[in-house]
Amino acid sequence: MASRILVVEDNPDNMKLVTWMLEDEGYHITPAGTGEEALELAGNNQFDVILMDISLPGMDGKEATKQLRKTDTYRDAPIFALTAHAIVSEERDIMASGVSELITKPINEELLLEKLSSYLN
């Protein structure tokens, strides 16, 4: 069965791009435009990986990750932060929220696919 990936991203163009990259590889994508929506979808479905944009309207990706880490289903699940921020102090803050990996935008497709398969195999 195809691995299920929850993609949390508020920018429609980025969402389209990530969806295109991953569906092309046979992954099953569920989109979420906000952290709140992501938590609801994650609560009702079992995703193999979550790609989490950090800058989101309302709850940000760090807070959404912290909430997910409190649940049995996502305590140890792969959650990749997607961020344009490159400042070291900010990176530390993002990692401290509990994400497994930090992927900087613009996304390097090869790197993302490599990291995904390393967590899924």
Question: Is residue 53 close enough to count as binding Mg ion by CB under 5 A?
Answer: yes
Residue nearest to Mg ion (CB): 55
Question: What would you report as the CA-atom Rg of the chain, rounded to the nearest whole angstrom?
Answer: 13
Of 29, 64, 59, 21, nearest to 47 by C-alpha is: 29
87: which DSSP letter?
Answer: -
58 and 36 in contact (C-beta within 8 Å)? yes
**CA 114 – CA 5 distance, rounded (Å):** 15
Question: Is residue 37 close enough to count as binding Mg ion by CB under 5 A?
Answer: no
Out of 3, 4, 10, 115, the only residue in the binding site for Mg ion (CB under 5 A) is: 10
Tell me the closest approach of the beta carbon of residue 84 to Mg ion, in angstroms: 8
Q: How do 49-53 and 79-83 pair as beta strands?
A: parallel
- Compute CA 40 distance to the chain's CA centroid, rounded to the nearest angstrom: 14
Question: Is residue 55 close enough to count as binding Mg ion by CB under 5 A?
Answer: yes
45 and 30 in contact (C-beta within 8 Å)? yes
Question: Is residue 63 close enough to count as binding Mg ion by CB under 5 A?
Answer: no
Binding segment for Mg ion (CB under 5 A), chosen from 6-14, 66-74, 77-85, 104-112, is 6-14
Instruction: Spell out, one character per residue from 70 to 109, where the chain touches Mg ion: x when CB under 5 A holds, - when not.
Output: ----------------------------------------
User: Site for Mg ion (CB under 5 A): how many residues?
Assistant: 3
Residues in contact with Mg ion by CB under 5 A are 10, 53, 55
